[in-house]
Amino acid sequence: MNGNYNDVVVTSRVRLARNVDGLPYPYKLNDDRAALLARKVCDAVNKKHTDGSENDYALYRMESISDIDGGVLREKHLISADLLENRKYGAAVINGSETVSIMVGEEDHIREQCILQGFALPEAYKAVNGIDDDISKVLKFAYDPKLGYLTSCPTNIGTGMRASAMMFLPGLSVTRNLEQCVGAVARLNMTIRGVYGEGSESDGYLYQISNQKTLGVSEQEILASVQASIGHIAEAELRARDELYKQSETAIKDRILRSYGILCHAYTIDSKEFMKLLAMVKLGAYYGLIKVSDMQRLEKLVTDGQPANILNLSGKKDVGAEERDIFRAAYVSKTLKSICKR
C-alpha cells in the first residue's frame, strides 16, 4: 500500500486564456474572421521544424462534427461544453496524441491547454508555453502593461493561466475528510471542482484542483502554489487510504471485490454506476487486492466508459440508452478480464 502522488494525481493540466488585439470578443465575433482565426491558429502550431518534420495538429470545426464526436472530445477534456454550443464559429486544434488542444471561440478567442498523465505540471506548462509562443508570432494578443493579458472574464486577467490536476480521492471522500482539505486549499486561493469543471459532479471520486488567482502573480508562482496544494491533498489522501484500510479492512475488501465482480459479470450498467464501481477497482489496485498489468489501460477505461465514447467504440451511432449500457457492460468486463486478476 505504499503509494506515490501518481496513485492520486490522474492528470496535470495547464491552460492559457488569450484574446487577439483588435478583434471583438467571441460572443460578438460572428463573421468570417472567426473561421480565419481558427485557421491561423492551426497554421501557427503546425510549423515545420529544421529537420523537415511537421507537427500533427488537426482542425475540428464545431459546425461540422457530429454530436457523438463532439461528446467524445468533451469527455476527453479536449473541448468544453461552451465550445460545443458555439456550433457556427467554434473550433478546436488538437494534436495527434491528444495531449494539447486549443479551443478557438470559447469564452476567449483562444484557450490553449496541455494535459499530461500523472503529476507533471512543469512539463505541461513547458509544452503549452511553447504553443503560446508559436501563436504569438502570428497573432498579437490583447495585453495591458498593468493588468496583463485581457480576458472575457475578470477572474482570468493577468497571466490568463490555470494550472490544475485531476485527482482521485476515494480515501478522503469515504472517510469524510475532504471538506477539511477543501477549506485548507481555499485559503491558498485554490478551488476544487467536479470532473468536468465548475458546476459538475465528482463522479468516481475524481476532483479538479486549480488556482483561482491569476492577477498579480507570475506563472511560476502559480505553478509553485498549485503543486504545493496538490502535494498537501495527495499526502492527506494517502494517509486517509491507510486509515480506511486499518479501520474497515473487511468492509473495504468486500466493497472492492463486489465492485470488481459486478463489473466483470454485469449484463448492463449505466455510466454513474460504472464510475462508482470502477473507482473501487482502482482503489483495490492501490491496496494490492486486484493485480493490474496495465494501469494506463485501467485509467483509460474511465473515459472509454463515458456515454459518447462508449457509443463511438460500439460503432453504433443511433442506439438507445439500454443498448448502450449493455455494450458498456460487455466492453468493461472484457477489458478488466484482460488486464486484471485476483
CB neighbour class for 113 (10 Å; exposed up to 12, middle 13-18, buried from 19): buried
Pairing of strands 57-61, 91-95: antiparallel
For residue 293, the tally of other CB atoms under 10 A from its CB is 10
The residues that bridge with 212 in the sheet, in sequence order, are none
* pTM score of the predicted model: 0.91
Whether 200 has a pLDDT exceeding 80, the answer reads no
Contact call for residues 168 and 8 (beta carbons, < 8 A):
yes
CA separation for the pair 159, 178 (Å, rounded): 29
pLDDT of residue 201: 55
Contact call for residues 143 and 37 (beta carbons, < 8 A):
no
- Residues with Cβ within 8 Å of 241's Cβ and at least 6 positions away in sequence, in order, are 1, 3, 170, 171, 283, 286, 287
Nearest alpha-carbon partner for 223 in 161, 163, 156, 148: 163
CA separation for the pair 205, 275 (Å, rounded): 9
- When mean pLDDT is compared over 50-54, 83-87, 109-113, the highest value belongs to 109-113
- Tell me what the mean pLDDT of segment 99-128 comes to: 97
Q: What are phi and psi of 185, to 5 degrees?
A: -75, -25
pLDDT of residue 1: 44
| pLDDT one-digit tens code per residue, 173-190 | 999 888 887 777 778 788
Nearest-5° Cα angle at 335, 332 to 337: 105
53 band by pLDDT with thresholds 50, 70 and 90: low
pLDDT of residue 55: 76
Domains along the chain with CATH numbers: 5-240 (3.30.590.10), 249-341 (no CATH)
Nearest alpha-carbon partner for 241 in 178, 165, 293, 164: 178
Strand, coil or helix: what is 58?
Answer: strand
Q: What is the mean pLDDT of the chain?
A: 92
